[in-house]
Structure formats: C-alpha cells, structure tokens
Chain A
Amino acid sequence: MSLANQLDQIFVFLQHWIEGFFPQWLQPGVGALIAVIGIVATFPAIFAVTTVLERKGLGRIQNRLGPNRVGPLGILQPVADGIKSLTKEDIVPRSADGVVHFLAPVVLVVAIFLGYAVLPVGRNMVLMNMDAGLLFFFAIGASTELSIFMAGWSSRNKYSLLGALRAVAQMISYEVPLLLSSVVAVMMTGSLSTVKIVEAQGGFTGIFPHWYVFTPWGFAGFILFVIAALAETNRSPFDLPEGESELVAGYFTEYSGFKFALFFLGEYLGMLSIAGFAITLFLGGWGAPFSFLGFMPSWAWFFLKLFAAIFFFIWLRGTLPRLRQDQLMNFAWKFMLPMTLLNLLVAGAWRFLGDGWSRWVICSLVLLFAYVLLGRVLMRHQHLGPRSYRYAE
C-alpha cells in the first residue's frame, strides 16, 4: 500500500488499531464510540478556530484589528472565551419556564451533532452509511426549529418570543428550497446515501472532476442551496432572528453563561454541518479538485473545502446588509421556490436529453432565462427608495 493511501486511511487504521484491544463482541460499539469522539472533538475545535477567524476577518473587512490580546495574534481568544462562559453565572429569569428553558440549548446541540452522523468527511470516514442518509440529516435539521421555539417561549420575554417566531418562520420557509435544491443531486445519483452521492462525483474528465456544481442544474442547485443554507443557519444577510437593533439578541436574549455558549456552539456547528452537506452534494465531498492532486488525503480535501466555505460565509457577513422580514419571505416563496422547482425539471430534462452538447445549451438557457424573467417580474413593483412607516416617523 502506498504512502498516500496509508495517509488517506490513517484515521480508519487508528480506529481499527484501538478496536483490536477489545474483545470481539465489544468491537462495533468501541468503533462507533471512537468515531463519535472524533466528531465531537473535531467540529467544536473547528468552531473555536472559526470564531477567531470570523472576528479577525470581520475586523479586516471593517478596517480594525480584531482580537489581538490573548496569545500570539489573538489566536488563544477561543480558550479565554470558553473559560469565561464556563465561569459566568447562569441567570434564569424568575418567570421563565425552568425545564423548557434548560432543555432548549441541550436539544439544539444534540440535534445538530446528530446531523454529523451521516456526513462523509473522507474515504471510508462516515459514522453511519445509511440508505436514507440525506433524509436523516434534513429530518434532524427540522427538529432544531422546535428547540429554538422552546428557547424563545420559555424565556417569557417579548424579544425572545418575537425572535423565536421570526427564526422558526424563516427556517420553515427556507427549508422547502433547501430540500428541493438538494433533490437534484439525489436524482442524478439515484440514492439518498451521502457516501454514494460523493462516489458518483468521483471521476475525472481530463483533469477536471465530475462535481455536480459543474453542470447547469448543479450550479443552480448549489447557489440555491447555499442561499437557503445561509437562511437556515440564521447567518447574515438572513440574521433577522437576532437583529440586535430590534430584538436585543433574539431567542437567546435571556440565556447567559454556558447555555448561551451552547447556543453559540449550536449555531456554528449548524453552519459547519450544512456547509459540509453543500460540499458533499455539489462539490464532490472529499474528492480532489484536479486529477493530479489525488495524492493528498481525502479528509484533507474535505476540511480544506470546509474552511473555504467558512471563509465565504465570513466574507458574506462582512459584505451584505440585513434583509427586511417581508423581503425575506418574498424572496423565499417568489424566487427560491419557483427556481428550485424549475431546477428539478431541468435536471430531469438533462437526464433524458442524452449525451452531447445540446443538453448543456438547453439547460443553461432555460435556467438563465427563468432567472432573468423572474428577477424582472419581481423587481417591477419594487419601489426602491426611502421607506414610509405606518406607525412610526
């Protein structure tokens, strides 16, 4: 076995090596436990790195320094933040609903961690290769909405409740395009298994890979998926649920100490997992971007792509202003939904037009035409200018 192959499978070997110390009947359980520990250790570590990268990156975009006091260049800032949130007092409002208030962050983090079970982070590196893996991810993702509602309602605070209602409405609205835009990848693969979706994008033409994003329907699906993913994770420009100028901090206004840190963790882990699924569905998962780069281990490619996605999210957050609630809903139902439905049709047409260049032209033209037409029609009645308020000056 070559060195590159060994490096590729190093974590799998490690898992089998540790399993070898246990009796036969314990081995499956121990193997699963090791994989779970790997996930629970890796992704929060990436979250810690992401927080400092985000603050540094936003600082750069906003022409300031960002955190630079703790450790060299401020890279130990997450450690300080973690210690701070562990030692802070946990304040629960007197009228809050104690049990629900406590359960909400726990349910959120547990549900988001469960989503990682079907995320393939490298060749042979997935916790569960389920037949319905993608469906599992979306089902688990849908149950985070309830924990957000629990947080907002149990706090007995109008800002919390309004933030929770906004968040839930937004997540439900954008869940539809999120699901529908990922269906094209499932249609082309013929399987809901995340491993099979990655393997179907494995080959190369010349030096270029067969990623779904390099087809008309895949490109449209990828863009729609990323927009819906941003809204689903309450990231800017869709961060209305936490609009600090209107709602203090949204649904976690009344949370402090480590429960607040759990919400923070859940939000970033949700972003990482949904970025991981965007990579899995459209960007070839752990596949190398060029055929001559195949010597690098597969997990390295996955995490490189993940950091690229994080960079993109930070860049967007520093660039775009926040949407208004009606713009948000109009965008979801009048633009995203028709485009995803059309993309499904285009993907079907792609499948039945056969090989050749004609399907490239037809599918691209249909999507481009729909995009321009929809944009024109929706913008026709938009009055761009100062907004008049009915109940405020």
Chain B
Amino acid sequence: MIFGFSLTFLLTATLTVAGALAAAMLRNLVHCALSLTVTFGGLALLYLQLGAQFAGFSQILVYIGAVAILVVFAILLTRGAGIPEYRGFSTSWFFGLVIASAVFALLTWSVVRSLPASAATAAPSVTVQSIGASLMSTYVLPLEIVAVVLTVALIGAVIVAMPESRAPKSEAESSGAK
C-alpha cells in the first residue's frame, strides 16, 4: 500500500499513463500506435483488477485485436510509415492545452458528481452469465440498435470498396494491358 493504492494498481496505472504519454509524444506514428496498444492493455488490466473479467477481456479482444490493427493499417495505407517527419508539438499547443484541461476538468467533475454518497462496501458479483442475461432482456433494444448500426457500417464499407460499376472495369483492364 502506497498512498492508499495497492502496488498492482500503481504499476498498471503507471503503465497506462506512460503508454498514453508515449502515444502523444513519440515522433514515429507506428511507435505511437504501438504505445497506444500498451495503454489499451493497461486499461484492460485495470478492469481485471476491479473484477470485471468480461469488460477486461473484451477490451483486449476489441481494442488490441481490432482497433490497434485498424490504426496501424490506416497509418501504413495512407502514408509511408518509414521516415519520422512529423513534429512532436504543434504550434497551437496553448489552445490544445486549454481544451485538454477543460475536458479533463469536466470529466473529473462528472465522475466525482456521480459517485454515490457512501461507497459501496461489498463489490457486486457480476458473472458473464448475468451480463448475457441482462443484454438479452433489459438491454435487448440497445443491443439490436448497435447491431443494426454496425451492419450498416459494414455494408457501407463494402460499397465504398466496391468498383464503381461493371462496365468501366473492362476498360481499366484493357488500359492495364497496354
């Protein structure tokens, strides 16, 4: 126990914050993406420490398994990932600082406001089964809406990636043959 925090919490919190800082400060974009992954992993560890297995593993599955890969692919496909050519700090760093601290203050305020008057003594036991049960009963409508939104996004992505029409394709092929 150091300052009322357990050693495990301090370690994971340091890891998470260090990853986030590195993601913001490193020059090479791929390094930034990889340090962001460290932050995702640290967040998952924090969830696991709170006894939220499902949230922790979902965090790893979704953020490290999918979002980090997406970020990395986006970097590689849009610009050359070889030479570090970006400045660490933008010229408008002052406004950025103001906005960031305002957002941080707002979040802190809302988190502090939402705390219950007396801290819960016993941690609620949430099993994966109970999460599934409530997703399928109480929260079935939000779940379905999210599913529809994701399906629309998927179809949209396919349409964006599809060739415009069938006819110009043969033209492109013939020009390629020249």
Given A139-B60, A391-B176, A131:B127 Cβ within 8 A: yes
Check if B66 sits within 8 Å of A390, measured CB to CB.
no
Chain B residues in 8 Å Cβ range of A390 = 173, 176-177
Point out the residue from B34, B58, B69, B177 that lies within 8 Å of A172, measured CB to CB.
Answer: B69
Check if B53 sits within 8 Å of A100, measured CB to CB.
no
Q: How far is the CA of A139 from the CA of B40 in the complex (A)?
A: 12
Check if B69 sits within 8 Å of A132, measured CB to CB.
no
Encode B66-98 as 1/0 by CB contact (under 8 A) with A.
101100110010000110000000000000000
Check if A142 sits within 8 Å of B64, measured CB to CB.
yes
Check if A135 sits within 8 Å of B129, measured CB to CB.
no
Check if B65 sits within 8 Å of A131, measured CB to CB.
no
- Tally of B interface residues using CB under 8 Å: 28
Which single residue of chain A is at the shortest CB-CB distance from B28? A97
Residue A145 at the B interface, CB < 8 A? yes
- Tally of A interface residues using CB under 8 Å: 29
Given A132-B128, A191-B129, A139:B34 Cβ within 8 A: no
Check if B176 sits within 8 Å of A145, measured CB to CB.
no
Chain A nearest CB, measured from B118 CB (Å): 28
Which single residue of chain B is at the shortest CB-CB distance from A135? B57
Given A150-B34, A172-B69, A143:B64 Cβ within 8 A: yes
Which single residue of chain B is at the shortest CB-CB distance from A161? B76
Check if A153 sits within 8 Å of B61, measured CB to CB.
no
Encode A337-354 as 1/0 by CB contact (under 8 A) with B.
000000000000000000
Q: How far is the CA of A139 from the CA of B41 in the complex (A)?
A: 11
Check if B60 sits within 8 Å of A190, measured CB to CB.
no
Chain A residues in 8 Å Cβ range of B53 = 130-132, 135-136
Check if B173 sits within 8 Å of A143, measured CB to CB.
no
Residue A73 at the B interface, CB < 8 A? no
Chain A residues in 8 Å Cβ range of B61 = 135, 138-139, 142
Which single residue of chain A is at the shortest CB-CB distance from B40? A143
Residue A359 at the B interface, CB < 8 A? no
Residue A149 at the B interface, CB < 8 A? yes
Check if B64 sits within 8 Å of A146, measured CB to CB.
yes
Q: How far is the CA of A153 from the CA of B82 in the complex (A)?
A: 9
Given A153-B81, A191-B129, A132:B30 Cβ within 8 A: no
Check if A165 sits within 8 Å of B64, measured CB to CB.
no
Centre residue among A132, A138, A141, A165 by max chain B CB count within 10 A: A132
Point out the residue from A97, A100, A145, A165 that lies within 8 Å of B65, measured CB to CB.
Answer: A145
Residue B39 at the A interface, CB < 8 A? no
Q: How far is the CA of A146 from the CA of B65 in the complex (A)?
A: 7
Chain A residues in 8 Å Cβ range of B54 = 132, 135
Chain A residues in 8 Å Cβ range of B176 = 390-391
Point out the residue from B28, B69, B128 that lies within 8 Å of A168, measured CB to CB.
Answer: B69
Chain B nearest CB, measured from A101 CB (Å): 12
Point out the residue from B41, B58, B72, B81 that lies within 8 Å of A135, measured CB to CB.
Answer: B58
Chain A residues in 8 Å Cβ range of B57 = 132, 135-136, 139
Chain B residues in 8 Å Cβ range of A175 = 65
Check if A165 sits within 8 Å of B68, measured CB to CB.
no
Residue B16 at the A interface, CB < 8 A? no
Check if B81 sits within 8 Å of A145, measured CB to CB.
no
Point out the residue from A131, A135, A146, A161 that lies within 8 Å of B68, measured CB to CB.
Answer: A146
Q: How far is the CA of A161 from the CA of B76 in the complex (A)?
A: 10
Residue A300 at the B interface, CB < 8 A? no
Which single residue of chain A is at the shortest CB-CB distance from B59? A139
Which single residue of chain B is at the shortest CB-CB distance from A143? B64
Q: How far is the CA of A130 from the CA of B34 in the complex (A)?
A: 28
Centre residue among B28, B60, B76 by max chain A CB count within 10 A: B60
Which 9 A-B pairs rank lowest in CB-CB distance, beginning with the nearest? A142-B65, A139-B60, A139-B61, A139-B57, A135-B57, A132-B53, A143-B64, A132-B128, A142-B61
User: Could you list 15 A-B pairs, sorted by A, with CB under 8 Å?
Assistant: A97-B28, A100-B31, A100-B34, A131-B127, A131-B128, A132-B53, A135-B54, A142-B61, A146-B34, A146-B64, A146-B65, A146-B68, A146-B72, A161-B76, A175-B65
Q: A139-B60, A172-B69, A191-B129 are in contact. List 4 more A-B contacts (CB 8 A).
A: A100-B31, A131-B128, A145-B69, A146-B34
